[in-house]
């Protein structure tokens, strides 16, 4: 995790609350990130400023 602790806890709580539908992971893992982008049906990036757009480009690579 690299953000606010209470938000990380909320993200991780998703897995306990909705075990069949969600999993909350509050840490970065490059291999897992690529797998998630490849498996996603859509990509939502709620950012006010995205200087590079790398995540969007990676999503396009996988057809997300």
What is the per-residue pLDDT for 2?
66
Write the pLDDT tens digit of every residue in 3-53: 788 888 888 898 889 999 888 888 888 999 899 889 999 888 877 777 778
What is the per-residue pLDDT for 26?
82
What is the per-residue pLDDT for 59?
87
Residue 21 sits at the vertex; the CA angle it makes with 40 and 53, to the nearest 5 degrees, is: 30
Question: Which residue, 3, 1, 25, 22, is CA-closest to 12?
Answer: 25
Neighbours of 59 (CB within 10 A): 18
How many separate domains does the chain show? Answer: 1
Question: Which residue, 12, 44, 48, 8, is CA-closest to 36?
Answer: 44
Range of the domain at 53: 5-61
What is the per-residue pLDDT for 51?
75
């Amino acid at each position: 995790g690299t953000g606010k602790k209470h938000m990380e806890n909320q993200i991780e709580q998703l897995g306990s609350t909705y075990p069949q539908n969600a999993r909350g992971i509050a840490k970065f893992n490059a291999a897992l990130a690529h797998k998630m982008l490849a498996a996603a049906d859509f990509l939502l990036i709620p950012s006010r400023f995205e200087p590079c757009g790398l995540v969007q480009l990676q999503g396009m690579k996988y057809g997300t």
